[in-house]
Amino acid sequence: MKIIELSNETKQSILDDLLKRSPNNYTQYESTVNEIIENIRTNRDQAVFDYTLKFDKFQLTPDNIKVTRAEIDEAYSLLDTKLIEVIKKSAENIHTFHTKQLRNSWFDFQEDGTILGMKITPIARAGVYVPGGKAAYPSSVLMNVIPAKVAGVGEIVMTTPPGADGKVNPGTLVAADIAGVDTIYKVGGAQAIAAMAFGTQSIPKVDKITGPGNIFVALAKKAVYGYVSIDSIAGPSEILVLADETANPRYVAADLLSQAEHDELASAILITTSRELAEKVSAEVDGFVKVLERAPIIQKSLDNYGYILLANNMEDAIDAANEIASEHLEILTKNPFDIMTRIKNAGAIFLGEYASEPLGDYFAGPNHILPTNGTAKFFSPVNVDDFIKKSSIISYSKEALSKVHKDIELFAENEGLTAHANSIKVRFEE
């Protein structure tokens, strides 16, 4: 891996490189995505069937678009029973963690008759997109669905592309069943996003769409935002390891590569105050790449977006980490909890040498659907709040309003909104 001295110039150069991976930079595909969306809005089921035949080589009909209970049972028979048990354990951990995020409606009562509050209501219907083929990840099914279930969403539908034989990845089906999906549709790509956003004869319109996908899926989610809510526009995966001389170089190298193997646009960065650690990590990375299965993808990722940054001190290292705002941040230092208190921007923070990134991906319980491309500065992981909405509650007695009505009238008149002012005045006419 490239070892570079950390400076304001090198930091800015890396930030510029990382931002090039944003889906916002793939505007050449927007016209294709918009055409698909408009076709779905106009022709509904028929457009869905046509695109599925074109892209997935399977002839959908109203009779086979839904996954049946028999297909789900078959999926269980195709999976290793030990894997099924692991999925169940993971689901339980995710459920437990997200249950702690639940909030209740609240009301504040004053003696003069003022009542203020917040009414919390789950959304009625959520849509989850799950990639197919080689990019099928049952863990992501759990991470999307379980927070919605905990929030109390009334109905959860899932779309995922079929193979040419009309089958859906068995791991996806088992995870969806364990997580509690209500209905699964055999539809993928931008057409699936459009179908959930606007509804077709077979697929109901949803209120929110979550889930990862390729660039066409990401751009489709961006295009339908406003008609429905979405989780985020996900970019390529990334990891940043913040380490000092006490870190184990073999652990650091292994953790960096856990994200580099995702795809050629993935980013893996080490920021350290120790040149010795930097050199040892670089050597360990070279050794791992020779034996790992996805070595060509890993090497391309490292060549383009892999860096080892040497910082003069830990303060500079922390500042750089906050600027990069990585999706995954591991802290491998003498006192990781102290460093954590100074981290402002990260999707998920992993503390200590036994909290490696895959622990969060699969099992611990916190959500692995995280902000990427620096958006951790203003976005959060998928959580229960993503599946609820809040309504303000306001009730005043005549006594309470009489104390403040002239203030409200003055404010409204100052803004030139005399009908607003009049709405208050009429309640106090002689």
Residues marked active site are found at 327-328
Tallying the residues shown for the chain, one arrives at 430
Half-sphere exposure of 73 (CA within 13 A, CB side): 3
**β-sheet bridge partners, residue 209:** 127, 230
Helices (H), 325-380: 336-340, 357-362
**At 392, is the secondary structure helix, strand, or coil?**
strand
Q: Give residue 185's region: left, alpha or beta (phi > 0; psi -120 to 50).
A: beta
Hey, what are 105's tokens? 């409606």
DSSP string, 214-249: -HHHHHHHHHHBTTBEES------EEEEEE-TTS-H
> What amino acid is encoded at 64 in this protein?
N
**DSSP one-letter string for 150-215:** HHT-SEEEEE----TTS---HHHHHHHHHHT-SEEE---HHHHHHHHHH--SSS---SEEE----H
Q: Give the Cα separation of 5 and 292 in Å (integer).
A: 28
| DSSP bridge pairs for 228 | 225
Q: Name the burial class of residue 173, with classes exposed (0-12), middle (13-18) and buried (19+) by CB atoms within 10 angstroms of its CB.
A: buried
